[in-house]
Amino acid sequence: MSIGASRRLRWAVGFAQIGLMPAIWLMTGSEAWFVGLTGIAALHAWWLDRRLAHPTVERIELVGDECLLCSVTQCRPFRLQAATVWSWFTLLQLRDDHRTHYLYLLPDNTDADAFRQLRIWLGWQSPFVHKS
């Protein structure tokens, strides 16, 4: 299953950053602090948008209770620890030898059929699935 960037997630993060502006204004009380913190928030929003625009995982291969997460150069095996599955969002908790990783997927990350197949596979495979 190939994975692309999620336009929905990028929009949601952008709106959340814009929603911070009134909170920053109320917390700072001075124009200088507001301008400084707004600049920092804008840089963070730009950095996050660039990061979300180019996901590091390009493909997922599911084999038994293992997931192979593939980038451009390599595939690495991960054990599926848990999954949260909704019709509009799927969160995978994956573990390698060193740490736990989280992979979020929205319907616009991949084609609809592949997203549906992943949700069905997770419902049968993972003992720790929260379905809704």
**Do 17 and 72 belong together in one domain?**
no
The token pair that represents 129 in the structure block: 């699935």
Asked if 126 and 110 sit in the same domain, the reply is: yes
Structural domain of residue 70, as residue ranges? 59-131
**What is the per-residue pLDDT across 65-94, written as a single tens digit (0 to 9) for each?**
677 777 767 777 888 888 888 888 888 888
Domain count across the chain:
2
- C-beta neighbour count of 69 within 10 angstroms: 21
Q: Give pLDDT tens digits for 34-71.
A: 777 778 888 887 887 777 666 667 777 777 667 777 77
CATH at 90: 2.30.29
Q: Say yes or no: 127 and 88 in one domain.
A: yes
The pLDDT value recorded for residue 125 is: 66
Under a CB-based contact definition with an 8 Å cutoff, are residues 105 and 4 in contact? no
| Residue whose structure tokens are 């197949």 | 117
Structure tokens belonging to residue 81: 């620890």
Give the chain's end-to-end CA distance (angstroms, integer): 22
1 assigned to some structural domain: no
